[in-house]
Structure 1
Amino acid sequence: MSTTTTTTPLPATSKSLTFLAPATPPHVISTPLAAPAASELVVKVHAAAINPVDIQLWNSALLGWLAGKKEKGIGRDYSGTVVAVGAGVKGWKEGDEVFGLISRPTGEGTFSEYVHPIIGKDPIAKKPTCWTHEMAAAVPLVVLTAFSCLDWLPADKKKNGFGRVVVAGASGGVGMWCVQLAKKLYDCNVTGICSAKNADFVRQMGADEIVDYTSEFVSQALLENLPAGRQYDLYIDCVGGTELFADLHALLHPQAAYVTIVGDKTSRTAMGGPLTYLYTPAQVLRFLKGLLWGPRYANVLLYAKSELLEQVAGLAERGEVEVVVQEVVRGLLLEEEGGSEEAWKRVYEFMEGGRVRGKIVVAIE
């Protein structure tokens, strides 16, 4: 018996961009489009976003070993329209415009014509009417990561405001959301670390002060900005590296925190996140010292919570946050004349270069 609630027949197949072995050229495949299981939706994807983690997983020998020779999807973020609803799903209907996150490294990716989010597991929310699909697709992974980072603010600063936050990589996808949410949700004083060419952009996001890493010694500039010796409450690292640790105790008080989404590494194509604890003993030692004596240290992942996407959608509808899409890449699922190959090359170059203001989005046509 069918578990699908749908008034419009689904197409027979769906195209996706996938790869077989690590770092091999992705290719377009067409597979049968399954009806939704009881707890699933089927969403027609209009736009998806690229993130550094997508390149890292594509390069990962570990993922290749775990997944074997099966096709592996690419992409985590998406925005689209609900076209079928599983029989056990409440509160959603065909025609709903949604945005969300699907993270299945060995399976389905969002560089696809259709995806199957699982309600209660995969973060999803109604798309704000003020956002295009390209804008909405640029949000889920980075904003959910920003929420995770800001949760490390000391409790009194989260409650009462007036914390002092530093964001390294403030013009990037996660960084720009850390800046905005630190201001909007916690009334923090924010120092953004970025290049001079992105300084005005980071100020537009809400930063009170800017440190130009291309012309200043970052630690020295931060120390000089301490008013009356008051230390920072949270340092958010979106770029990697170890240069700051020599001055860590001068910059952060014992109840403060240093959180990173990258780890000590600086390569943009190598896996980051908590996985780096396994091969970077210095990070483990830093974490343990932070627990005992402070400041706290952590390598963090995103919070996979639909209610956080709903919260951001509400901020967007009130005009309190901005989404910045640097470029929309087209032709990723175009099989003719090497269209997908050229589009993937462009997407990869953006991620490898690491000089993106906001996000790069892929149009799913």
Structure 2
Amino acid sequence: MKISQKFEDLTLKQLESFGCLMGVTQLVLYIASAKEGSKATFEMIAQWPKVDKLLVSIDDDPTLKVSSPNRRWYPLQEKEILLGVLRVETDLNNGNWPLILDSRLKALSISLAKCVSIEIERQNNNKEINVLKNQVDIVIHQLRNPLAAIRTYAKLLVKRLGSDLGSIEIVESMMVEQNQINQYVDSFEQLNKPIKLLLDIGEERLLLPPNLDNGKKISIQDLLLPILERGNANAKLENRAWIQPEIWPEWTLLAVKPRFMVISEIVANLLENAFKYANKDAEIGIFITKRGLCIFDDGKKITKNENEKIFQKGFRGAASKKKEGTGVGLFLARKLAKQIGGDLNIVDNSMKDNNEELNALKKKNIFYLELPIKELHL
């Protein structure tokens, strides 16, 4: 097993911290090793005191073939698996080992076994990650060909449709969606490269990769229009009422800072939930206020008891019990909202009383994405 420098340094520090204790003259750490087609052996990877000599396996050291009262072997075990051994040499007379020394060496062997187990797990995880990265690279490469073909066929279809403006509009919408998928493929390609994780992100990833084209100036309106077009198409397909803004406030028309582009992912997730869980005949839509966005549906009202619970990771509300889902969408949506200095809540009576715009919005379920308006723009 090829060990990392950090693992070697850690184990060496543990051996050094034990050295010169109660007659101990040498500590040597071996790790079990077995190559395909050969018998298992134990390779030396660290020793105290540290000497400049070749690290050899137990089989290659003839001095270890002879027993000695001043030498003991302590197994490094993880359950029933033997991971390695710790060799201890002493200058004790007649091999009289104090009980306290034996107890401390057993504790050291347990600690070293944990280190070896963690190192093996780390290496296995790295191998899996590398395999997955390679697979993602292949999938991304393979996706580009059919995506390009779809765009080509769409262009040909537009030419054949001639003056059928209604059909052409539908095909052009398909091309917009194809372009959006292309952007996500580009984003996945960027995510598959080495990245420096921010400390406050936590264990969750973004709902969808953000728009990584930071050089392009994009407004809230630019972010939302493709999502609204998709929502409108879904509503027509399901024969349900759809409401979207006709007048856009000034704050939605100004270019936003790149970090606020995740707003589109929050809104997309909320609308997806609305279409998935609201009654089939329920109206769905979006409303813009002075301080944020309201995503609403007029389906079965979420109970007051669930108003906060639905934002908990893994919680599934009454409306979602019989439908597919993981119970993390709203949890991540609120987390993203707070990361950009905003918040996400279900509108209740107390919120309406303090906000005239919300009070005028007579809908059963309203998710209010409050945004830091003064910080949004470039």
Q: Fold-level match, TM-score > 0.5?
A: no
Q: Greater strand percent: which structure?
A: 1
TM-score relative to the length of structure 1: 0.23
Indicate the structure (1 or 2) with the bigger Cα radius of gyration: 2
Q: Greater helix percent: which structure?
A: 2
TM-score relative to the length of structure 2: 0.22
